[in-house]
Every structure is written in C-alpha cells, then in structure tokens.
Amino acid sequence: GAVVSQHPSRVICKSGTSVKIECRSLDFQATTMFWYRQFPKQSLMLMATSNEGSKATYEQGVEKDKFLINHASLTLSTLTVTSAHPEDSSFYICSAEAFGKKAEAFFGQGTRLTVV
C-alpha cells in the first residue's frame, strides 16, 4: 500500500514551452502533497505544499507563476513548469501524505526534466 506514482519519469522539452508533471496516490487519499526539486548531488529542496481544494503554499524564492501547482482531487496533484528555461532542468519529486497516517509522506519516483 501507499504507492505514489509520478508521470512522466523523464521529459525533454524546448525552451519556452510548458511541461506538466503528474503526481498520483494510487491506493490512498492524499490531503497534502509536496513538491521537491533535487539538484545533482544535493538534497531535496521543498518547493511548495499543496492541499486538496486550496491554493498551494510556496517556499521562499519559488516563483508561483512559473511553477503552477494544482491539487484538484485527493489523489492527484500536478506541477506545471511554464515557459521552461534550461536552468529549470532538474529532478522533480512529489510526495503525498496519507490521510490517517500521521505525518508520514510517501514519495514518487521523480521526474527528470531537461530543457533544451
């Protein structure tokens, strides 16, 4: 149980285009989902906290107009990187907190975004 699936696992896009990454909790309801970014050989940096049915809370320094987060249902959150630039190339990871499983988050497999 408690499986989180991210799609796509890898994506290459051209500069200026937008890319959508999906994060799904497959066998549980996730009231809260988190989006992280991981640079090579570095730790996970929290980008935003997403609560179902409400606006995401962004961490300081993260552009909310560039990284659009939508958490429309209890099993799906999406991150859209708008007008992508090469410096947006990174590994993006989502995690979902299971309703009733206090404070424990389950992680997706990540999405490697390359902007060319």
Partner 1 sequence: AQSVSQHNHHVILSEAASLELGCNYSYGGTVNLFWYVQYPGQHLQLLLKYFSGDPLVKGIKGFEAEFIKSKFSFNLRKPSVQWSDTAEYFCAVNAGTGGFKTIFGAGTRLFVKA
Nearer to partner 1, 31 or 82 (CB): 31
- Beta carbons of 98 and 29 less than 8 angstroms apart: yes
Phi, psi of 74 (to 5 degrees): -75, -5
- Smallest separation (angstroms) from partner 1 to the CB of 113: 15
**Site membership for partner 1, residue 107 (CB under 8 A):** yes
- Beta carbons of 50 and 62 less than 8 angstroms apart: no
Buried b (16+ CB within 10 A) or exposed e, 63-84: eeeebbbebeebbbbbbebeeb
**Site membership for partner 1, residue 5 (CB under 8 A):** no
Out of 1, 14, 40, 43, point to the residue binding partner 1 (CB under 8 A).
Answer: 43
Site residue total, partner 1 (CB under 8 A): 25
Out of 11, 13, 68, 105, point to the residue binding partner 1 (CB under 8 A).
Answer: 105
Q: For the chain, how far is it from start to end, CA to CA, in angstroms?
A: 37
List of residues contacting partner 1 (CB under 8 A): 31-32, 34, 36, 41-46, 49, 51, 59, 93, 95, 97, 102-110
